[in-house]
């Protein structure tokens, strides 16, 4: 991060906090990958190598803003106050899971943090983001919606429809694409003839900005400018954070089967966390011993929380399937529950 341009509003405390958040996410992802490989959870999608894009963008938002995430933005929910215990419980889908095991692991929803539950189908969150932003505009709220996506989402109809509608309606919406250059096994150049994601904004008459996605300061600046513009009535922006997926797409993937991992190794030299560590050390914000101590403290906190969550009751009561469907449960669900109890479906007999 030599020659980094640091936004003036990011003081020493803010930079140290960004490093803490990025380190925690890396440690959390590394541990949860191990947990999944041991068969303790069914699925996990890490943000390894993309932490600057996640937290740089998230730091630019206000509490009233809404997030429509893709797969790798769970750290934004954590940054906004989503409890780590809830984050881990969602992965296990056990009795501590607020969503009662109804979503596959890594599909967080955090209502108090204005973080919508992600959906696995690619790009379906973008029309939802348009709807949220439209609601904000109609209600004259001083709020902005951020719709996250990966580069693969830009090949979907929902992407084009959403940008077109956001532009035509001049919505308070910022599209943030984490271009990690792989849509699972399809390289970016195999998806489009365009030279970048950002250039696609031209067709919808909105600004398109390409930024170094491994520079947390650059990501913050680009997203903050776009958010401020949207909040003031200037309309939507498309931001492309160019980064690289250091690991697998998810625990269901083996990238060594389709990509040259020597390229991956070259990108590891641009690791966003290593870059921020070097900056903090060079500027006297944190020395190596302090950073090492922080990592140990964070890992201990993560491990303690994981142990507590995993020790909880493994199963959500089956009777919960009849809950949260209607505000007042109708007669036919009461009948179904009674039948389930009569035949021992929800009692275990």
DSSP 102-128: -S-TT---BGGGTBPPP-SSTTTHHHH
**Residues belonging to the active site:** 245, 249, 258
Q: What percent of the chain has a predicted confidence (pLDDT) above 90?
A: 88
Work out the widest C-alpha separation in the chain, in whole angstroms.
70
Write down the H helix ranges in the chain.
12-37, 51-59, 74-79, 84-92, 125-138, 157-169, 216-231, 261-268, 272-282, 288-310, 331-342
Each residue's pLDDT tens digit, 284-296: 999 999 999 999 9
* Cβ burial, residue 59 (10 Å; 0-12/13-18/19+): buried
Q: Is the pLDDT at 345 greater than 90, yes or no?
A: no
The pLDDT tens digits for 60-109 are 999 999 999 999 999 999 999 999 999 999 999 999 999 999 999 999 99
How far out from the chain centre does Cα 25 lie?
Answer: 11
C-alpha 30/C-alpha 343 separation (Å) is 43
pLDDT-derived band of residue 2, with 50, 70 and 90 as boundaries? low
Q: Which fold does the domain 12-316 belong to in CATH?
A: Rossmann fold (3.40.50)
Query: How far is 98 from 108, CA to CA, in rounded Å?
Result: 10
Q: What is the mean pLDDT of residues 128-139?
A: 98
In this prediction, residue 193 has a pLDDT band, given cuts at 50, 70 and 90, of very high
pLDDT confidence bin for 320, thresholds 50/70/90: confident
The tens digit of pLDDT for each residue in 253-284 reads 999 999 999 999 999 999 999 999 999 999 99
pLDDT surpasses 60 at 349: no
Q: How does pLDDT run across 197-211, given as a tens digit for each residue?
A: 999 999 999 999 999
Residue 44 has pLDDT above 70, yes or no: yes
pTM: 0.93
Cα 165 to Cα 67, 81, 155, 169, 239: the distances in Å are 18, 31, 17, 6, 17
Looking only at the bridges linking them, the beta strands covering 182-183 and 186-187 are antiparallel
What is the distance between the alpha carbons of residues 220 and 317, in angstroms, rounded to a whole number?
43
- Per-residue confidence (pLDDT) for residue 347, from 0 to 100: 60
Nearest to residue 62, comparing CAs of 131, 165, 169, 136? 136
pLDDT per residue as tens digits for the range 4-21: 688 888 999 999 999 999
Per-residue pLDDT tens for 17-42?
999 999 999 999 999 999 999 999 99
CA distances from 316 to 174, 319, 320 (A): 37, 9, 7
> Tokens standing for 260?
């040259």
Alpha-carbon span 141 to 294, nearest angstrom: 39
Task: Give the residue from 275, 277, 213, 271 showing the smallest Cα distance to 20.
Answer: 277
pLDDT band of 348, cuts 50, 70, 90: very low
Q: What is the mean pLDDT of the chain?
A: 94
CATH 3.40.50.970 residue window(s) in the chain:
12-316
**What is the SS3 assignment for 237?**
strand
Give the pLDDT mean for 168-186: 96
């Amino acid at each position: 991060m030599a020659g980094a341009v640091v936004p003036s509003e990011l003081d020493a405390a803010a930079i140290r906090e960004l490093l803490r958040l990025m380190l925690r996410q890396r440690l959390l992802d590394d541990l949860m990958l191990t947990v999944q490989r041991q068969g303790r959870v069914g699925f996990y999608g890490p943000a390894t190598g993309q932490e600057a894009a996640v937290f740089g963008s998230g730091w630019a938002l206000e509490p009233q803003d809404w997030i429509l995430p893709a797969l790798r933005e769970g750290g934004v929910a954590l940054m906004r106050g989503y409890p780590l215990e809830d984050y881990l419980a969602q992965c296990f889908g056990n009795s501590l899971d607020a969503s009662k095991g109804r979503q596959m692991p890594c599909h967080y929803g955090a209502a108090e943090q204005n973080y919508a539950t992600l959906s696995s189908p690619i790009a379906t969150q973008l029309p939802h983001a348009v709807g949220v932003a439209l609601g904000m505009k109609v209600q004259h709220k001083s709020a902005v919606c951020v719709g996250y996506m990966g580069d693969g989402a830009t090949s979907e109809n929902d992407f084009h429809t959403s940008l077109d509608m956001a532009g035509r309606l001049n919505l308070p919406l910022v599209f943030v694409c984490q271009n990690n250059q792989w849509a699972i096994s399809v390289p970016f150049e195999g998806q489009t003839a365009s030279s970048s994601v950002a250039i696609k904004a031209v067709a919808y008459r909105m600004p398109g900005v390409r930024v170094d996605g491994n520079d947390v300061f650059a990501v913050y600046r680009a997203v903050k400018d776009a958010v401020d513009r949207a909040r003031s009535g200037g309309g939507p922006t498309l931001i492309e954070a160019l980064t690289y997926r250091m690991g697998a797409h998810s625990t269901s993937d083996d990238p060594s089967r389709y990509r040259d991992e020597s390229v991956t190794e070259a990108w590891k030299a641009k690791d966003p966390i290593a870059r921020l560590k070097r900056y903090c050390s060079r500027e006297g914000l944190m020395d190596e011993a302090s950073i090492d101590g922080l990592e140990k403290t964070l890992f201990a906190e993560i491990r303690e929380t994981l142990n507590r969550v995993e020790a909880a009751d493994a199963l959500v009561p089956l009777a919960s399937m009849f809950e949260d469907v209607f505000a007042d449960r109708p007669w036919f669900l009461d009948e179904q529950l009674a039948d389930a109890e009569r035949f021992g479906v929800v009692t275990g007999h």
